[in-house]
Amino acid sequence: MKYRKLGKSGLEVSAIGLGCMGLSFGYGPATDKQEGIKLIRRAYKLGVNFFDTAEAYGPFTNEEMLGEAVEPFRDNVVLATKFGFKGGNVAAGVDSRPENIRAVAEASLKRLKTDRIDLFYQHRVDPNVPIEDVAGTVKDLIAEGKVRYFGLSEAGVQTIRRAHAVLPVAALQSEYSLWLREAEREIFPVLEELGIGFVPYSPLGRGFLTGAINANTQFDETDFRNIVPRFSEDNRKANQIIIDKLTEFGKKRSATPAQVALAWMLAQKPWIVPIPGTTKIHRLEENLKAEQLVLSAQDVQEIERAFSEIKVQGARYPEHLLALVDR
């Protein structure tokens, strides 16, 4: 596994990290804790040193699982977690008041069984708290040795600039994939200018870009994708052309659709580090092999041409969750 630096921060991580959310939250019943620990440890053995969680995943249980999983090799990994929801509950709304940031930091340290959080993200921008106050609070936590680096999630250009003026932002985490490329227009130039790394979540389109989901797929009743417009039956059917194109290209390179989608992302910028998640060890192994699939400029152009002809159908979030995305 090769390593990448998140912008100018100096924080070095595996080229592909592991998003742990789906082990506990969002995609149906939680994975058995011991099975989750086994998967996290397998990722580490395969070269992953960058693990992403949040108090809101569960809530709380995901951090506990990750903390237990990495305890034997804690000093060899980079742990990223997040603050910013009331009581760790997404449905309760945002809360980035300084006292809440501090409370979350203390609680997360205990659950992660560690004395420092390597990368502490604001999970969603709080319109009621100036971002300068947020950055200032994290700056104090860094001075106290409880946090190493500061990150933002789904933040817009002005928020990024204002936060970075108070405390260097090491990484921005936002949704990005072959079927969601909004970040390229306004966000990428600012990240490049300021030397901020980019950590795309859902780089495989919440599983769709693996080719394992089609119009006939039935999700568990607790699966978040049931309320995502892009995952309506009609939109899944309309978007099947994306998988057809990925499969067609992958056959030329003996690669799966997921590997092509991740290799394409790694080819975009050297400071991009995707964090695909999975509950299955064979999918984990498949995803990590994407790092060995090096695409040429010609390969990237071929993929770009194929996708320029496709109009993706359906919004990426329902309205109430889109409202939490900073513009």
Distance from the Cα of residue 120 to its chain's centroid: 13
- Measured CA to CA, the distance from residue 309 to residue 277 in angstroms comes to 28
- The helix/strand/coil state of 252 is helix
Alpha carbon distance 62, 80 (integer Å): 12
pTM, two decimals, is 0.98
**What pLDDT does residue 110 have?**
98
DSSP string, 113-166: TSS-EEEEEESS--TTS-HHHHHHHHHHHHHTTSEEEEEEES--HHHHHHHHHH
pLDDT at site 176: 98
pLDDT of residue 94: 98
Structural contact between residues 245 and 264, judged by C-beta atoms closer than 8 angstroms: no
| pLDDT recorded at residue 266 | 98
Q: What are 122's strand-pairing partners?
A: 83, 152
Domain ranges of the chain: 3-322
Instruction: Let me know if 94 is exposed, middle or buried by CB neighbors in 10 A (0-12, 13-18, 19+).
Output: buried
Q: Beta strands 169-175 and 3-5: pairing type? A: unpaired
Kind and range of the H or E element at 322? helix 319-322
Q: Which sequence positions are flagged as catalytic?
A: 57
In this structure, are residues 62 and 23 in contact, taking their beta carbons and an 8 Å threshold? yes
Cα–Cα distances in angstroms (integers) from residue 165 to residues 25, 142, 271, in the given order: 34, 16, 20
Q: Which residue type, as a one-letter code, is found at position 16?
A: I
β 3-5/12-14 pair status = antiparallel
The DSSP H or E segment spanning 37 is: helix 33-45
- Spatial distance between the Cα atoms of 138 and 133, rounded to a whole number of angstroms: 9
Among all chains, which residue has been given the structure tokens 């069984």? 113
Residue 174: which of 154, 191, 190, 188 has the closest Cα?
A: 154
The DSSP bridge pattern shows strands 197-201 and 147-153 to be unpaired
Question: Which CATH fold topology does 3-322 show?
Answer: TIM Barrel (3.20.20)
Q: Which residues contact 39 (CB under 8 A, 6 or more apart)?
A: 23, 31, 278, 279, 280, 281, 284
Element (H, E) at 203: none
Structure tokens at 74: 């804690």
Residues 204, 182: Cα–Cα separation, whole Å: 15
DSSP state of 6: -
Q: What is the pLDDT along the chain (327 residues), one digit of tens a residue?
A: 999 999 999 999 999 999 999 999 999 999 999 999 999 999 999 999 999 999 999 999 999 999 999 999 999 999 999 999 999 999 999 999 999 999 999 999 999 999 999 999 999 999 999 999 999 999 999 999 999 999 999 999 999 999 999 999 999 999 999 999 999 999 999 999 999 999 999 999 999 999 999 999 999 999 999 999 999 999 999 999 999 999 999 999 999 999 999 999 999 999 999 999 999 999 999 999 999 999 999 999 999 999 999 999 999 999 999 999 998
